[in-house]
Amino acid sequence: MSCDFRALATPGVQKLTPYQTGKPEDELQRELGLSRVVKLASNENPLGPGRAALHAARKALESMHRYPDGAGFYLKQALHETLGVAPTCITLGNGSNDVLELIARAFTLPGDEIVFSEHAFAVYPLATLACSAVPVAVPARLFGHDLEAMAAAVTERTRVIFVANPNNPTGTWFHRHALESFLEQVPERVVVVLDEAYFEYVQETDYPNGLDYLSRFPNLVVTRTFSKIHGLAGLRIGYGISSEAIADVLNRVRQPFNANAPALAAAQAALADESYVRDSRDLNTAGLAQLAEGLQARDLHFIPSVANFLCFDCGAPAEPLYRQLLAKGIIVRPVAGYGLPNHLRVSVGLAEENAAFLAALDEVCADG
């Protein structure tokens, strides 16, 4: 007889459904016998790596027998110069995902509550359950965050609130004044995490910059990442910006070397590579319009998005369409796990990739 290790896991871990990742592209291509695969499933930068970042990462590999700089001195300095935030207020992470988990771990005991929105980023419930904290999912409004209801969901036991602006997988966002009144309503003892993974893509005039609120709200943590517009998803590097007091708490629970050396070096180079960021943003603006027009022309409704993806309504359970697209070598993301069983999320790709996706939709419809 062997132990029931599942039963020995903490209560939250027993309830946890692991994050779903797709098959490696190469494997899919081999299995389906396809000549090419178009991956529009993970909101990655379709431009490929930036030259400067690639060069910096390669150079860093030459010292891979050494531990990385555990304090991330140079990257924090570069972030300080670019964003105007003190290095002591920055927490680096193995992706911003790492920072989200550090926050949950540092501030919750089993039974404490963490509030987030329905249809919000999958990592919020994962980070919550991993600590055996209680997830409180507040119903969405028009697929977006209902910030009023989220503030009203705070109880004595609430320790953390996660909000994403814009949100993934819906692409929805909230205005400056909505954020302000939300922050004013939340008690200071509750840590508010403002996840700005897609910040650099957004061009709406009323879109708030979370950094503007840090001095007024010491309970605020803004998280950002190098995975999206900076094109470093595979290296795993992101960061949180907060009051020094919160950064000090997070520094206590992070692994001493949570950010690896090639990632630190590449991130520093990527931050300085303004033309790569500009090109990426321009490509995205055009690609988002291309996808929106293409979906509209096919009578497929989508949720208006300011990020680098669109979530569209298939009008019926989306799984069959997902499979049919997959068979044609187009990988998109089912979002049933986010409470959106009829939707699929498609990331903005290169113009020809977006066109291949739209053409595959037509073929699928023609196939019946």
Ligand X SMILES: *Cc1c(COP(=O)(O)O)cnc(C)c1O
- In this structure, which amino acid lies at residue 80? H
Q: How far is the CB of 94 from ligand X (least distance, A)?
A: 8
Using the contact rule CB under 6 A, the part of the chain among 1-9, 94-102, 146-154, 342-350 near ligand X is: 94-102
Question: Helices 123-130 and 96-107: crossing angle, nearest 10°?
Answer: 40
Q: How far is the CB of 345 from ligand X (least distance, A)?
A: 10
Tell which positions 205-264 bind ligand X, by CB under 6 A. 225, 227-228, 233, 238
Q: 172 vs 328, which CB is nearer to ligand X?
A: 172
Q: How far is the CB of 174 from ligand X (least distance, A)?
A: 14
Q: Cα–Cα distance between 221 and 196 in angstroms, integer?
A: 10
- How does strand 220-225 pair with strand 191-195? parallel
Phi then psi for 310, rounded to 5 degrees? Answer: -130, 140
- How does strand 191-195 pair with strand 158-164? parallel
Q: 97 vs 354, which CB is nearer to ligand X?
A: 97
Q: 237 vs 361, which CB is nearer to ligand X?
A: 237
Given 101, 146, 195, 353, the residue binding ligand X (CB under 6 A): 195
Q: Cα–Cα distance between 344 and 341 in angstroms, integer?
A: 8
Q: How far is the CB of 147 from ligand X (least distance, A)?
A: 16
Kindly state the tokens that stand for 39. 């991956």
Angle among Cα 89, 255, 199 to the nearest 5 degrees reads 45
309 lies in the site for ligand X, by CB under 6 A: no
Given 197, 211, 310, 311, the residue binding ligand X (CB under 6 A): 197
Count, residues near ligand X per rule CB under 6 A:
14
| Three-state DSSP state, 144 | strand
Kindly state the tokens that stand for 83. 């964003």
Q: Cα–Cα distance between 90 and 60 in angstroms, integer?
A: 22
Q: 225 vs 305, which CB is nearer to ligand X?
A: 225
- Mask 21-60, x = binds ligand X (CB under 6 A)? ----------------------x-----------------
- Mask 113-132, x = binds ligand X (CB under 6 A)? --------x-----------
Given 45, 91, 96, 128, the residue binding ligand X (CB under 6 A): 96
- Mask 153-192, x = binds ligand X (CB under 6 A)? -----------x---x------------------------
- In this structure, which amino acid lies at residue 196? E
Give residue number: closest CB to ligand X. Answer: 95
Q: How far is the CB of 224 from ligand X (least distance, A)?
A: 8
Q: How far apart are the first and last CA of the chain?
A: 52
Q: 228 vs 254, which CB is nearer to ligand X?
A: 228
Q: 18 vs 33, which CB is nearer to ligand X?
A: 18
Give the side-chain half-sphere CA count within 13 A for 74. 16
Q: 104 vs 360, which CB is nearer to ligand X?
A: 104
| Three-state DSSP state, 365 | helix
Q: 100 vs 358, which CB is nearer to ligand X?
A: 100
| Three-state DSSP state, 20 | coil
Q: 195 vs 200, which CB is nearer to ligand X?
A: 195
- The secondary structure of residue 89, as a DSSP letter, is G
Burial, 187: exposed, middle or buried (Cβ in 10 Å; 0-12, 13-18, 19+)?
exposed
Q: How many CB atoms lie under 10 A from the CB of residue 297?
A: 10
Given 49, 50, 72, 95, the residue binding ligand X (CB under 6 A): 95
- The secondary structure of residue 24, as a DSSP letter, is -
Q: Cα–Cα distance between 176 and 144 in angstroms, integer?
A: 15
Residues that bind ligand X (CB under 6 A): 43, 95-97, 121, 164, 168, 195, 197, 225, 227-228, 233, 238
